[in-house]
Amino acid sequence: MKRLFVLVCALGLWAAAWAAPEVNIVPKPLNVETGDGSFTVDAATVVTVGRDASLRSVGELFAAMIEPVTGRAVKVKTAADGAKIALAVDPELGEEEYVLRVTPAGADVRGGSPKGVLYGLQSLRQLVIEGEGTVPAVTVKDKPYFGYRGAMLDVCRHFMPVEDVKAFIDILAMHKLNRFHFHLTDDQGWRIEIKKYPDLARKGSVRKETLVGNLRTSTEYDGIPYGGYYTQKQIREIVRYAAERHIEVIPEIEMPGHGLGALTAYPWLGCRGENYEVWTRWGISKDVFCAGKDSTFEFLQDVLAEVIELFPSKYIHIGGDECPKARWKECPLCQRRMKENGLKNEEELQSYFMQRIEKWLNDHGRNIIGWDEILQGGISKTATVMSWRGSKGGIAAAKAGNTVIMAPNTHCYLDYRQTQQQEFEPLGQVKYLPMRQVYALDPYEQLTPDECKYILGVQGNLWTEYIPDFRQVKHMLLPRLAAIAETGWAYDRKDFEDFSRRMRQFRKVYDCAGYNYATYFFDGKDE
């Protein structure tokens, strides 16, 4: 009888464990403890924010997120009786840390700041949507691993209207990312209004036509002028929208290469000084900013003076990638600059160029980020390197004591195709980057524990040569952005099989938001 009793108890415990609800949060939380019962979120539920006015906007964002489930936006009040979701800032928690507690009586979300509270609400959002309003009793204690978790959108090859940029920001917030890298200038178009140089928008933002088909095989053009730029009022609107979602916008103003948009508007910026046009095809132009003219630096400082007024970000990205040196080799002014400054080669001239701009930005309270080519010729100790040509540039920078953001094309280029079944995809990049490979990113690859401290975080990049509209942006971005988000948030607790299981539920959040996304990963065709 005693053995039977023990067996029954064991079976009861096993059954209870088996029946415990799954908590499928992405990115993976630090700690999850399930409880008994559940809490129902419906139209009668109230979000309470106490006397903290900074939490009201966070609560209203959450109310809008779950409206497809509740039928209307739940009310946000200072206090309420009955079923409620209570929000509070807890100074004992870190800025991005949160604690989410759900009981049958309601939910409580505490964060070290309104940003932390918003992250807790993003987790609660997932549970509300998955359970169609019924949330299991649970305590989630969570915080991110890396401080920098970002994504880049290129609006130069194909322009994205303001509402699409806002939608991109919403997607970043959904994944608990906190940096939006805004790629604003390139050979194919200058996309930001600069009041001192109005032709940047009038002329530099428009190309006369666009290549049709693949860069490597096509010589066909559509014959249709293509353009678009953001006014300074629109930029402020985007920055404000991102700040409400606790995302910092980092602008990128490309130099010394990828500058045909500017050279077309003001030909004196180039070494040749004439006959420039905004590029109609993809790839890299030989024409770059002239490093031998002081007027080039005066122009860029004028541009950056307006940029830093628009963007309060700590960092300004100044490019530095893919800069051909042929024009500099031919330019008497560039060669004289090299001689006067004791520079051995054009790589050191680029280093001179970038460090001169960096000093100006440092003097104005900002730090720079540059693509890993800025390592050529030497960089200052205060520059941050964004490693894109694999991880090798980031590894070298960290070993040299520079801060690094890992965004290697081997794991983080989300414009690469995500299926081997090319017949199902529109024209795009030929390189293949499935979810498993994205998830496999190790930002600490080949680094010692002491060197690891220089890794600020990770970023996904979306270049738009073959992405003409925002529908295709979402298709390429989702669901792979979730893998980058999990590396940034939960690097120390990653497990691909567990991630795959949670993603099967997380896709419901995409569905609820009405996002079109690639289904190959969910169909088991391309992991």
Active site residues: 186, 258, 322
β-strand pairing of 46-48 with 75-77 = parallel
CA distances from 465 to 228, 412, 468 (A): 15, 16, 7
- Provide the residue type at 104 as one letter: P
Token reading at 236: 């402020």
> Can you say whether the dihedral through the CA atoms of 437, 440, 446, 447 is positive or negative?
positive
Q: Which residues contact 209 (CB under 8 A, 6 or more apart)?
A: 221, 222, 223, 224, 225, 226, 280
Token reading at 240: 């404000």
Q: What are phi and psi of 86, to 5 degrees?
A: -95, 130
Task: From 89, 64, 93, 91, select the one nearest 76 (Cα to Cα).
Answer: 64
Quickly count helices (H) and strands (E) in the chain: 19, 19
Token reading at 15: 């059954």
Q: Are 418 and 445 in contact (CB under 8 A)?
A: no
Is residue 242 classed as helix, strand or coil in its secondary structure?
helix
Q: Which residues contact 268 (CB under 8 A, 6 or more apart)?
A: 293, 295
Burial of 439 (0-12, 13-18, 19+ CB in 10 A): buried
Q: What is d(CA 188, CA 185) in angstroms, rounded to the nearest whole number?
A: 8
Q: Are 143 and 94 in contact (CB under 8 A)?
A: yes
Q: Are 340 and 397 in contact (CB under 8 A)?
A: no
